[in-house]
Structure 1
Amino acid sequence: MTADQVKGKRFRGALRYNLAKVEKGVAEILDTNFSGIGENIIMKEVAMIKALRPNLQKYFYHTSLNFPPKENLSNERMKSIAKDYLSELGFNQHQFIVFRHRDADHPHIHILVNRIGFDGKVVSDSQDYARSEKVIRDLEKKYNLTPVTSSRQAVERAMTKNEMEMMKRTDTLSVKLKLQTIIGNAQKQSHSVPDFIQALEARGINILFNQAQTGFVSGISYGFEGLIFKGSALGNGFKWTQLKGGLDYEQERDHATICETNTRTRSILSDNGLRQSAGDGAIHQTVASNMPKRTTASAQRTPGEDDTSISNFASGQRQSSQKFGRTESACEEPSQRHFELSEVAKEAGILVGGIIRGLLSPVDTDNYEDMATINEFKKKKKRKIRR
């Protein structure tokens, strides 16, 4: 079972949507505590309770509980599940109405509930999605329903509706599904980062690591059949934070290998260009005449995952920087690069005090990743000078 939640301030719109389904004969009302089922009656009663908290904007939930197609559930069983769901989330003394829809290939119900209780108390919406997921996992056990893998445990991102429709039309696997299969097999067969890279490139997959100048890797993306997928678009098991745990990875040792892989990938994708695709779940954008363009992240972004844009991915040029009047190679050893930067910075009078000197020193490599501390120091120094 899955739950889709929407918080809002337009109770009437959600009510009309569901009542229209009832009028068309594709939905029915399973349960409610309103005195009537007409739109005007319900909205008058909602307004009475809303007056207890006039300043609360998002005062209602519109939630759909979705069951697998093979679940054979009676109205009474669905009604019981809905009431337990509301009770577990704290909606014990609140206005609600439950609709069962029959216009899809899977059983599902829609629940409209007022967050403001009859006593004027409001159910908190803090961590509501996480709390909802816990409740539906418990309800699956209680009612012996087909279990659904939670979003935290899911290794592979499920196919979208557009992907499934495309597979039906073309009778071929989607690019994303192919990628998930190939990468999954490569993970099982690889022990080190070079092994993993070699296994994927041998199968036509180009990898781009989100690698900082320090060598630190924060994310990964995959290029396959003209499309680019962030690790998070494929599922938790394909993100760098998960991958590196199953590989023999050392940042300093594997820095050059990863950097060379990035250079190869950018060159290949720049030569081939990228095509636009609908419904594959990829990060994609047409690249005309090999000119780089920006792209936006996919719908559900995972914190800390690769934010690499199409321009970085498609560019055939090696990364360079004009900082301090010099050009830096992306594959230059981190220790040497930081040593040179620190020397230039010292000459410019930027480094003050032993702490900052230590952060930029090539001796203490553990601090290379934490450039935020240096930047914060610079900001504070500028503020002091202005004062």
Structure 2
Amino acid sequence: MIGKIIAGSSFAGTVGYVIKEQSRILAAEGIPPPDIREMVQDFKDQTLLNPRIKNAVGHISLSFSPKDGMRITDALMLDIAKEYIQRMGITDTQYLLVRHLDQPHPHCHLVYNRVGNNGQTISDKNIKIRNAKVCRALTEKSGLHLAPGKESVRRERLREPDKTKYEIYDAIKTSLPKCGSWSDLELRLKERGISMRYKYCGSTTQKQGVLFSKNGFEFSGAKIDRQFSFSKLDRHFTYMQQQSQRRGTLAKGFHVAIGNYRSAYTGLFGNIGRSGNKGQADAGSINFGGNIGALPLPPNDSSVGLSAAQLQRKPGESPEEHIARITALLNTVAEAMAIAAMEQKRRLRERKTKMKL
């Protein structure tokens, strides 16, 4: 279930919109249906109890997934909507609940008076945050399909400014995985007709917010989606840069380990092809591709052991973990081969000394 907070400026326009040909009134409180004029007048009369509220019109649509279409009877929709009303604090006031039948997905519209029955204010503070939490809780409680957030919104039915807001959302969502910095994101969004600017802390150069604009509309990152707030995007780019530096360090260490290994291998086995090492069985090589190419493996009967299987990536091992592991392994084997080469030279010197004697 998804709740959408809709701006309404008059009860006449809002009630006139929700009661249409393909609709059913599920519930009404303090405004006896079905006469639209009388309901609108009842709404207006109650607003006189608190003239300080400039806009007393409350309007929320509750939409359910088409996958739950067969389950969402009028009775179930009414039960869920009434619990939604209670959890949102829309109590002791007039309201109208109407189910629309003109779309493939079940949905209803809640129109309520922000001036309560006793003149109290029905608060709209943090209403979008509260709405998201209540919708998710009721969806899980009722065992309904959990829609994947903004991806499930039908773009073709959006009006401005939501249409532009979702265009910016989609652009950031698709561009972000390819961006490693703010400048990368700015460049990619510019190609899609979206401009960026920053908000600063007072008169300092410290950035504290980001705004995106297109088609004459401008939104803060958090208004487009909470994951696109300045602080969260900044953390994302910091993490990406740290990962890039780490990958660079890993790559440098890996190439050094390859060089150490080749040098130690040559020192122990020489430059002769492995098939030319008499008395030693050929263990083959492993091809890393790129500018590294094939890496010779120690012969099977060598005191230094290294197999192609040891250098392969293990199941569940990330590329970074794989590089770090084989870098350490190659360095260990190179050290062992260097020691073996020194021992080999020592024995050779001893034999030569004995022969001279």
TM-score after normalising by structure 1: 0.45
TM-score after normalising by structure 2: 0.48
Of Structure 1 and Structure 2, the greater helix share is in 2
Q: Report which of the two structures shows the higher radius of gyration computed on alpha carbons.
A: 2
